[in-house]
Chain A
Amino acid sequence: MTDPAHVQSRPDEQTAAAPPVVDVRDLRVHFKVHRGLFGSQLVKAVDGVSFSIAAGETLGLAGESGSGKSTVARTLVRINRPTDGSVLLSGAETARLSGQELRAYRRRMQMVYQDPYDSLDPKMTIKDAIGEGLTVRGVPRARRKSEVEELLARVNLPVALAGRYPGQLSGGQRQRVSIARALAVSPEVIVCDEAVAALDVSIRAQVLNLLKDIQADAGVSYLFISHDLSTLRFMADRIAIMYVGRLVEYGTSEQVFAAPAHPYTQALIAAVPDIAALGGPRPAPLPGEPPNPASPPPGCAFHPRCPLAVELCRTVAPPLVRKANGQLAACHVVPDAPEVAR
């Protein structure tokens, strides 16, 4: 913990306790995109992101499409390779693992995918799909049937579904199967990448409650990725907001929702429909589009859309520092926390 930037990026005092389950430090994921015959361009999909997740905690990660939130998820479960930075799992560096060690790591970090229609093999029965996870964990064949039934019960699915194929299930049922499959390897962390975005609103609440119940039982940590802030408010203990590959705000759920510091977060929260305010004046929508991550604007990437932008924002990228409300934010304009308070 000698790196001052890292110490700075911690929104609360948890460093004193046990090390967090997941500790991501200055993660960078860059892609080379080929253009034309010879040209290529570096896309910095994730550019220096740090966060940590404690045991049994949920970190919500939000941002518009193209912000890099899915790349963060896919890098944690190692679909993508990190270009630079560390990913510590229970204190051990994992960013450079390969081969058998990588496979062992994968068992500890699971993912529930957005698309319930493509994330299960259509030619594999439910019991085989879940059983596959049990094989990975090394459960003997004789115990597999009973464990599959246990897992189905745990995600509130009837045992009768075990012999069915994914094509015979509804979206919500499939997503439960995906959760059961992830649980089959008893991971420490489950990454949910827009896991309920494809579901009907009525089913969505059931699945979210299920995820919460599982967390209470098993103490798993979640990295919960969503563009839907009301879902995050329900699920997350802490919130991180991403904009074009960087965190712009990072704090506890109460801090971020009660008093968003960054103008981007403020705009996102203002855009959440509110039944109580129905018929009242609608907040002004955020002007413009998120920039192309291949060519982000200089300085603060948000400055072309920011109502508060000053000259400094056009040239210098703001650091993620503690603000007066207690959370971290990357903004030149919002006042920093007074030094003495910390």
Chain B
Amino acid sequence: MTAPPEGSFLSGQLPTAAVEPAAASELAAAADEPSLGRRALTSLRRDPVALISVIAVIVLALVAVFAPLLAPHNPLQAYPNGLASNGAPVGPGSSFLLGTDPNGRDVLSRLIFGARVSLLVGVVATGLASIIGVLVGGIAGYAGGIVDSVLMRITDVVLSFPILLFCVALIAITGPSTRNVMLVIAFGYWTYLARIVRGLVLSLKEREFVVAARTLGIGHRAILRRHILPHLVPAIIVYSTLGIATSILIEASLSYLGIGVPLPQASWGQMISQGQQYFQTAPWLLVAPGVALVLTVLAFNLAGDWLTDLLDPETSGDRR
């Protein structure tokens, strides 16, 4: 742990606080390893990119949660003053901060509600994918043998499709709806987690404390729950964060293709698709959702990288 940078308002405070004289001898080992929260703060202070991305993710989450309070207009309503006399969308101005779309709807409000859709799809799809992936990977890795072979061949089959193509094909079967988009993304993305979790479990089950638990007479289910799962949590958090970025991108792609979140609900992909047609005359229609999407995906990826370094130093720099 290096010294905090000069001029930081916390400098000199954190490292000394880690050593409590009363328990110095007993807790010598503990003092070397500051708590996770403390390490997170230290690394954020030293890494402005990570700090900005974490703040961006938090802001985005707040925007999504409080969308109805933050949106200046109704995202679904076509405002009469939202169109110029010639029927063209109105540019950014005082009444519509980011202008209006060709239907006379407020772009900023649609962007804010679009964040809600993106995040909802991203979080739910990734959550589902994590559950499936951890179950499949955990069982495959722990059981080994034929169970492992069967589960991993299934995983390989799904993994061999490009994930977007796979999702498009599934949507073609299920039909587009917000729920189906989430399910389809989850069904494509769980394979990544399954592979990672399997690998981790393969090495964990050879660790002496797992062997020791077995010789103590503990059942397999309890070993998986008490001795294996807690060690997977850092990796699950890291890959879920990155998975949210991927899911948001897939949702936007599906919506862009018109098979994602159905109209008239606002979503970034569909806004980009519409804005593209008016790029010459109304560039804000393309730029606003495009920038929002890029920044969101970037923020989640950078936050994921930071979490990797923080929680899972062994695997950092070794992703997909």
Interface set of A (CB-CB < 8 Å, partner B): 77-79, 103-104, 106-107, 109-111, 113, 115, 118-124, 132-133, 135-136, 164-165, 167-170, 178, 181-182, 185
In whole angstroms, how far apart are the Cα atoms of A27 and B230 in the complex?
Answer: 38
Find out whether the CB atom of B27 lies under 8 angstroms from the CB atom of A168.
Answer: yes
A-B contact count (CB 8 A): 67
Interface status of B314 (Cβ within 8 A of chain A) = no
Find out whether the CB atom of A132 lies under 8 angstroms from the CB atom of B213.
Answer: yes
Interface set of B (CB-CB < 8 Å, partner A): 26-27, 29-30, 33, 207-219, 226-227, 230-231
Give which listed residue, A103, A120, A168, A185, contacts B29 with CB less than 8 A: A168
Find out whether the CB atom of B217 lies under 8 angstroms from the CB atom of A120.
Answer: no
**Given A124-B226, A168-B29, A170-B29, are A119 and B209 neighbors across the interface (CB < 8 Å)?**
yes
Which residues from A are CB-within-8-Å of B27?
168
Distance from B61 Cβ to chain A, minimum over Cβ atoms (Å)? 28
Find out whether the CB atom of B209 lies under 8 angstroms from the CB atom of A121.
Answer: yes
10 A-B pairs with C-beta separation under 8 A: A106-B215, A120-B209, A121-B209, A123-B231, A124-B226, A132-B216, A132-B218, A132-B226, A168-B29, A168-B30
Which residues from A are CB-within-8-Å of B216?
106-107, 110, 132-133, 136, 181-182, 185
Give which listed residue, B30, B210, B212, B226, contacts A111 with CB less than 8 A: B212
Distance from B314 Cβ to chain A, minimum over Cβ atoms (Å)? 14
Find out whether the CB atom of B217 lies under 8 angstroms from the CB atom of A124.
Answer: no
In whole angstroms, how far apart are the Cα atoms of A120 and B26 in the complex?
Answer: 18
Give which listed residue, A79, A135, A169, contacts B211 with CB less than 8 A: A79
Distance from B313 Cβ to chain A, minimum over Cβ atoms (Å)? 15
Distance from A190 Cβ to chain B, minimum over Cβ atoms (Å)? 11
Give which listed residue, A77, A110, A123, contacts B230 with CB less than 8 A: A123
Which residues from B are CB-within-8-Å of A109?
215
**Given A103-B217, A136-B218, are A113 and B231 neighbors across the interface (CB < 8 Å)?**
no
Give which listed residue, A107, A122, A169, contacts B217 with CB less than 8 A: A107
Distance from A223 Cβ to chain B, minimum over Cβ atoms (Å)? 13
In whole angstroms, how far apart are the Cα atoms of A107 and B214 in the complex?
Answer: 10
Give which listed residue, B26, B208, B215, contacts A110 with CB less than 8 A: B215
Distance from B36 Cβ to chain A, minimum over Cβ atoms (Å)? 12
Distance from B261 Cβ to chain A, minimum over Cβ atoms (Å)? 40
In whole angstroms, how far apart are the Cα atoms of A136 and B226 in the complex?
Answer: 14
Which residues from B are CB-within-8-Å of A78?
215
Which residues from A are CB-within-8-Å of B218?
132, 135-136
Which residues from B are CB-within-8-Å of A132?
213, 216, 218, 226
Chain B residues touching A, majority SS: helix
Which residues from B are CB-within-8-Å of A104?
217
Distance from A125 Cβ to chain B, minimum over Cβ atoms (Å)? 12
Q: Which residue of B lies closest to A105 (CB)?
A: B217
Find out whether the CB atom of B215 lies under 8 angstroms from the CB atom of A119.
Answer: no
Distance from B201 Cβ to chain A, minimum over Cβ atoms (Å)? 15
Distance from A97 Cβ to chain B, minimum over Cβ atoms (Å)? 12
Which residues from A are CB-within-8-Å of B207?
118
In whole angstroms, how far apart are the Cα atoms of A195 and B30 in the complex?
Answer: 24
Which residues from B are CB-within-8-Å of A111?
212, 215
Which residues from B are CB-within-8-Å of A113?
208, 212
Which residues from A are CB-within-8-Å of B29?
167-170
In whole angstroms, how far apart are the Cα atoms of A46 and B230 in the complex?
Answer: 36
Most interface-central of B26, B207, B230 (chain A CB within 10 A)? B26
Known: A107-B216, A121-B210. 5 other contacts (CB 8 A): A119-B212, A132-B218, A133-B216, A182-B216, A185-B216
In whole angstroms, how far apart are the Cα atoms of A290 and B218 in the complex?
Answer: 37
Give which listed residue, B26, B30, B217, contacts A185 with CB less than 8 A: B217
In whole angstroms, how far apart are the Cα atoms of A16 and B230 in the complex?
Answer: 51
**Given A124-B227, A167-B33, A169-B29, are A77 and B215 neighbors across the interface (CB < 8 Å)?**
yes
In whole angstroms, how far apart are the Cα atoms of A106 and B213 in the complex?
Answer: 10
Which residues from A are CB-within-8-Å of B217?
103-104, 106-107, 136, 185
In whole angstroms, how far apart are the Cα atoms of A79 and B209 in the complex?
Answer: 12
Distance from A51 Cβ to chain B, minimum over Cβ atoms (Å)? 20
Most interface-central of B33, B209, B216, B227 (chain A CB within 10 A)? B216
In whole angstroms, how far apart are the Cα atoms of A115 and B33 in the complex?
Answer: 21
Which residues from B are CB-within-8-Å of A167?
29-30, 33
Distance from B220 Cβ to chain A, minimum over Cβ atoms (Å)? 10
In whole angstroms, how far apart are the Cα atoms of A168 and B31 in the complex?
Answer: 8
Which residues from A are CB-within-8-Å of B210?
121
In whole angstroms, how far apart are the Cα atoms of A124 and B218 in the complex?
Answer: 15
In whole angstroms, how far apart are the Cα atoms of A168 and B35 in the complex?
Answer: 12
In whole angstroms, how far apart are the Cα atoms of A199 and B208 in the complex?
Answer: 17
Q: Which residue of B lies closest to A108 (CB)?
A: B217
Which residues from A are CB-within-8-Å of B212?
111, 113, 119-120, 178
Which residues from A are CB-within-8-Å of B30?
164-165, 167-168
Which residues from A are CB-within-8-Å of B231?
123
Which residues from A are CB-within-8-Å of B33?
167
Which residues from B are CB-within-8-Å of A77?
215
Distance from A197 Cβ to chain B, minimum over Cβ atoms (Å)? 14
Which residues from B are CB-within-8-Å of A120?
209, 212
Distance from B99 Cβ to chain A, minimum over Cβ atoms (Å)? 52
Distance from A286 Cβ to chain B, minimum over Cβ atoms (Å)? 31
In whole angstroms, how far apart are the Cα atoms of A182 and B213 in the complex?
Answer: 10
In whole angstroms, how far apart are the Cα atoms of A165 and B230 in the complex?
Answer: 14
Distance from B21 Cβ to chain A, minimum over Cβ atoms (Å)? 16
Give which listed residue, A118, A164, A170, contacts B209 with CB less than 8 A: A118
Give which listed residue, A103, A124, A164, A185, contacts B219 with CB less than 8 A: A103
Which residues from A are CB-within-8-Å of B227?
121, 124
Distance from B308 Cβ to chain A, minimum over Cβ atoms (Å)? 19
Give which listed residue, A119, A124, A133, A135, contacts B208 with CB less than 8 A: A119
Distance from A100 Cβ to chain B, minimum over Cβ atoms (Å)? 9
Which residues from A are CB-within-8-Å of B211?
79
Q: Which residue of B lies closest to A78 (CB)?
A: B215
In whole angstroms, how far apart are the Cα atoms of A119 and B26 in the complex?
Answer: 20
Most interface-central of B215, B218, B226 (chain A CB within 10 A)? B215
Which residues from A are CB-within-8-Å of B26?
168
